[in-house]
């Protein structure tokens, strides 16, 4: 917070713009954050509950672990496509309709997965399920940007990510215990029930949060009213290009932050996707419930890291504005990511590889679980401020740019994840984890370059960056 000795210099235009964030009371804002966080939890549940069940699913469907794990890559690809579709249309029709369209797809996909008899059916319905969950993060991030101003946004985004990432901590345990003591099919049916409940809550409680007059539908109706005042206002479908948002990533700042996010998240997946074939094999764990419980330390790190990162990034923004006499430099928020990107994320996966390779027995397993926690903490120390930064610099297209970032990141991840199990089979756990750690250090270099040269990089390509009066 700004002190009396070093007040922020806030212009009249900035104060006028801040009034738009007072449309909802603090209590109503908390309800909105809770709703969108619930929706963002669902993709975590869909993927997290699936991974511990891979050995059982492969046995049930007469397949192999690597083939079933392809469903993880396919679902990430589907989530990337869905996030771009929902985010693009959320800028035209609004945030609320996207939730009301996406959640029924999640329910349909979950029923389909739970009743799948073949691998092909499983893959198709996992794709539908992933598309249905995909609006949770991109559209949810846009909602946070709609209702919270610049100096509150990082904290709100951290709370949003923390709540949504409860799924990372809980879903593998639910999936593992469900697979062990009931059936992986019942777990997916349970996801269908949860999806229905979240849909009903969205239908009843979620308002439209987009700033008045900013939706494409509003502008289209204004144009129609001008040309034909007597024309009746009614819904009409407009075809939009969901891939157009990717063009925003021609900005080197946004591209660098997106690639960094991919390298950071890749460490997550490199640890979790093959867990039954790494920790399970090394430490003789065959019980799906115990394998699912091994995910919990990483999820706990996510839950702690996300709000911590949000609070730190807001403080960094205020601190550096004070140093500059009120001047706002968007890249200052990224300074909160550096410790996690340089130390916690890459070192955690490298030490996991070393522990798995060299340390046997309970001590080796304990070391792995400790570094799982460190990885979860570090990942959110990078991703939460990065997401807030993306909203800051392109606030007028917050959902679209988040979807572009998540979409490209997910497409790259879907390709990279498909190579994890083959790499472990070919070169071993240690070499694979070391390679992924080196990629994460490459992400740190991109973040550092964005912070140091952000102004110059934004001058190379203008994609409609926000100013302090419009962010």
SS3 string, 174-236, reads HHHHHHHHCCHHHHHHHHHHHHHHHHHHHHHHCCCCCCCCCCHHHHHHHHHHHHCCCCCCCCC
Q: Which helix (H) or strand (E) holds 169?
A: helix 166-181
* pLDDT for 6: 45
DSSP-H helix ranges across 228-324: 252-272, 279-282, 288-293, 296-323
Q: How many C-beta atoms lie closer than 10 Å to residue 31's C-beta?
A: 15
Which tens digit of pLDDT belongs to each residue from 326-341? 899 999 999 999 999 9
* pLDDT for 50: 80
**Of 40, 283, 234, 235, residue with least CA distance to 144:** 40
Whether the predicted pLDDT of 5 surpasses 70: no
Whole-angstrom Cα Rg for the chain:
22
Residue 365 and residue 216: Cα distance in Å, rounded?
53
Which tens digit of pLDDT belongs to each residue from 294-321? 888 988 898 888 889 989 999 999 999 9
**190-204, 259-273, 284-298, 418-432: least confident range:** 284-298
Domains of the chain: 22-210+244-460 (1.20.1250.20)
* pLDDT for 4: 37
Measured over the CA atoms of residue 296, residue 298, residue 302 and residue 303, the dihedral's sign is positive
Q: How many C-beta atoms lie closer than 10 Å to residue 88's C-beta?
A: 24
Whether the predicted pLDDT of 227 surpasses 60: no
Percent of the chain past pLDDT 90, that is, above it, reads 46
**Of 22, 208, 11, 192, residue with least CA distance to 107:** 192
Residue 340 and residue 384: Cα distance in Å, rounded?
11
Q: Which residues contact 233 (CB under 8 A, 6 or more apart)?
A: 221, 225
Judge residue 337's burial from the number of C-beta atoms within 10 Å of its C-beta, 0-12 exposed, 13-18 middle, 19 or more buried: buried
Beta strands in 18-143 (DSSP E): none
* pLDDT for 238: 85
| Alpha carbon distance, N-terminus to C-terminus of the chain | 18
Residue 386 and residue 409: Cα distance in Å, rounded?
13
Which tens digit of pLDDT belongs to each residue from 77-115? 888 888 889 988 998 999 999 999 999 999 999 999 999
Q: Which helix (H) or strand (E) holds 372?
A: helix 361-393
**Of 100, 122, 102, 98, residue with least CA distance to 112:** 122
Higher pLDDT, 291 or 358: 358
CA angle 400, 48, 114 (to 5 degrees): 100
For residue 63, what is the DSSP state? -
Mean pLDDT over all residues of the chain?
86
Which tens digit of pLDDT belongs to each residue from 110-166? 999 999 999 889 889 999 998 998 878 779 888 998 999 888 888 888 888 777 767
- Asked whether 79 and 130 are in contact (CB, 8 A), the reply is yes
For residue 468, what is the DSSP state? T
Whether the predicted pLDDT of 381 surpasses 50: yes
* pLDDT for 232: 52
Whether the predicted pLDDT of 457 surpasses 80: yes
**pLDDT range class, residue 469, cuts 50, 70, 90:** confident
Judge residue 231's burial from the number of C-beta atoms within 10 Å of its C-beta, 0-12 exposed, 13-18 middle, 19 or more buried: exposed
Residue 417 and residue 79: Cα distance in Å, rounded?
14
């Amino acid at each position: 917070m700004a002190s009396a000795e070093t007040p922020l210099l806030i212009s009249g235009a900035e104060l006028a713009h801040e009034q738009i964030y007072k449309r909802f009371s603090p209590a109503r804002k908390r309800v909105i954050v809770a709703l969108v966080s619930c929706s963002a939890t669902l993709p975590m549940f869909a993927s997290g509950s699936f991974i511990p069940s891979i050995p059982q699913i492969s046995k049930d469907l007469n397949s192999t672990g690597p083939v079933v794990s392809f469903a993880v890559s396919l679902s990430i690809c589907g989530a990337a496509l869905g996030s771009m579709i929902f985010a693009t249309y959320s800028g035209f029709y609004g945030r609320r309709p996207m939730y009301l369209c996406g959640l029924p797809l999640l329910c349909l996909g979950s029923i389909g997965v739970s009743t799948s008899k073949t691998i092909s059916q499983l893959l198709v319905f996992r794709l539908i399920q992933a598309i249905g969950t995909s609006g949770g993060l991109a559209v949810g991030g846009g909602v946070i940007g709609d209702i919270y101003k610049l100096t509150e946004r990082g904290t709100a985004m951290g709370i949003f990510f923390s709540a949504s990432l409860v799924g990372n901590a809980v879903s593998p345990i639910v999936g593992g215990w469900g697979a062990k003591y009931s059936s992986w099919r019942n777990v997916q049916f349970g996801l269908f029930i949860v999806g229905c409940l979240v849909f009903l809550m969205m239908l009843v409680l979620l308002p439209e949060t987009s700033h008045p007059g900013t939706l494409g539908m509003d502008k289209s109706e204004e144009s129609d009213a001008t040309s034909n005042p007597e024309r009746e206002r009614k819904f009409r479908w407009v075809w939009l290009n969901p891939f157009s948002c990717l063009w925003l990533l021609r900005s080197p700042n946004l591209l660098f932050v997106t690639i960094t996010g991919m390298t950071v998240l890749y460490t997550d997946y490199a640890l979790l996707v093959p867990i039954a074939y790494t920790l399970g094999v090394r430490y003789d764990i065959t019980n799906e419930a115990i394998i699912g419980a091994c995910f919990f330390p990483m999820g706990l790190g996510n839950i702690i890291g996300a709000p911590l990162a949000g609070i730190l990034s807001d403080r960094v923004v205020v601190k550096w504005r004070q140093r500059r006499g009120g001047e706002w430099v968007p890249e200052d928020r990224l300074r909160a990511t550096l410790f996690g990107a340089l130390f916690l994320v890459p070192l955690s996966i490298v030490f996991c590889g070393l522990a798995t390779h060299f340390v046997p027995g309970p001590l080796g397993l304990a070391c792995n679980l400790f570094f799982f926690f460190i990885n979860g903490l570090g990942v959110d120390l990078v991703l939460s401020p990065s997401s807030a930064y993306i909203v800051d610099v392109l606030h007028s297209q917050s959902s679209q740019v988040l979807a572009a970032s998540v979409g490209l990141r997910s497409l790259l991840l879907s390709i990279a994840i498909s190579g994890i199990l083959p790499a472990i089979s070919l070169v071993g756990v240690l070499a694979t984890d070391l390679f992924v750690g080196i990629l994460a250090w490459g992400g740190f270099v991109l973040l550092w370059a964005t912070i140091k040269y952000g102004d110059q990089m934004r001058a190379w390509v203008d994609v409609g960056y926000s100013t302090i009066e419009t962010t």
